[in-house]
Amino acid sequence: MTDPEQVPRVSLRGVSAGYARTTVLSQLDLDIAPLTVTAVLGPNGSGKSTLLGLLAGVIQATSGTVVHRTSVRPAFVTQRGAVADALPLTVRETVAMGRWGRLGLFRRPSAEDRGAVESGMERLDVADLAERQLSELSGGQRQRVLVAQGLAQGADLLLLDEPAAALDGPAREKITRVLDEMAAEGVTVVQATHDVTTARRAGHCLLLDGGRIVAAGPPPEVLPTPSALPSRSR
């Protein structure tokens, strides 16, 4: 019998995907390793964001098969620039949006829902900002709020699109440490990143270029030296 802890959370076979008439990902064969952090690296236009959208189910494959083995819908944390910071929401309200998928339209938040929101804020050190407007926060604070929203969803697959991009060292380290903790607690984490240091701490790495996987495996195998990465920046 197969050990459930070894079964991939998502499997792609012969998958292509893109937008309109533009193909971004081509003929991917891929298994997302469970209960670890997978770092997805590659230059601008390599397909990192498209791959995350595909794993999240918000982008559909144009060919091939995608098999999810998750108990609930994956949590997807987009880049900060994709979120309307000017929305009149407090930090607590923003994080609580992560529970909407479980609540539906009419159910009131339960103690479990409220606990998930508080836990997410505490883990990302934004609980003291709970009543502040999202628009009042710094870029790093807003990014930590969005990661807290992802945690609040309680999903067993957490997807993040460059969660620490443009953040300072302490904020980047905080997010990386929390993601490591989530993986240790049984969550499968996939994050797109341009930071080699972050990727080296992951349990698994995927290197994309031109919409194809050019390397996959443990960081020492995929990134033996900094020169192993494509030279173009994201």
User: Tens of pLDDT along 1-49?
Assistant: 456 578 999 999 999 999 888 999 999 999 999 999 999 999 999 999 9
pLDDT at position 181 over 50:
yes
Domain at 1-74+193-219, CATH homologous superfamily: P-loop containing nucleotide triphosphate hydrolases (3.40.50.300)
Of 8-17, 52-61, 75-84, which gets the smallest average pLDDT?
Answer: 75-84
Percentage of the chain exceeding pLDDT 90: 71
- Beta pairing, strands 63-68 & 22-32: unpaired
- Beta pairing, strands 212-217 & 204-209: antiparallel
Cα 180 from Cα 74, distance rounded (Å) = 17
Average pLDDT rounded to a whole number, residues 181-205: 95
Asked whether the beta carbons of 30 and 206 are under 8 A apart, the reply is: yes
Report for 61-70, 78-87, 160-169, 220-229: range of highest mean pLDDT: 61-70
Beta strands in the chain (DSSP E): 10-19, 22-32, 37-41, 63-68, 75-77, 157-161, 188-192, 204-209, 212-217
Cα 36 from Cα 46, distance rounded (Å) = 23
pLDDT at position 229 over 50:
no
Cα 118 from Cα 230, distance rounded (Å) = 40
Cα 79 from Cα 81, distance rounded (Å) = 5
* Averaged pLDDT score across all residues of the chain: 89
The pLDDT value recorded for residue 228 is: 45
Of 81 and 174, which is predicted with more confidence? 174
pLDDT at position 82 over 60:
no
Task: For residue range 129-156, list pLDDT tens digits in order.
Answer: 999 998 888 888 889 999 999 999 999 9
The pLDDT confidence band at residue 232, using thresholds 50, 70 and 90, is very low
| Three-class SS state of 82 | helix
Asked whether the beta carbons of 40 and 193 are under 8 A apart, the reply is: yes
pLDDT at position 234 over 50:
no
Average pLDDT rounded to a whole number, residues 167-174: 88
Average pLDDT rounded to a whole number, residues 50-68: 96
The pLDDT confidence band at residue 95, using thresholds 50, 70 and 90, is very high
pLDDT at position 127 over 60:
yes
Region of 47 (left: φ > 0; alpha: ψ -120 to 50; beta: rest) is left
The pLDDT value recorded for residue 225 is: 66
Query: Is pTM beyond 0.85 here?
Result: yes
The pLDDT confidence band at residue 233, using thresholds 50, 70 and 90, is very low
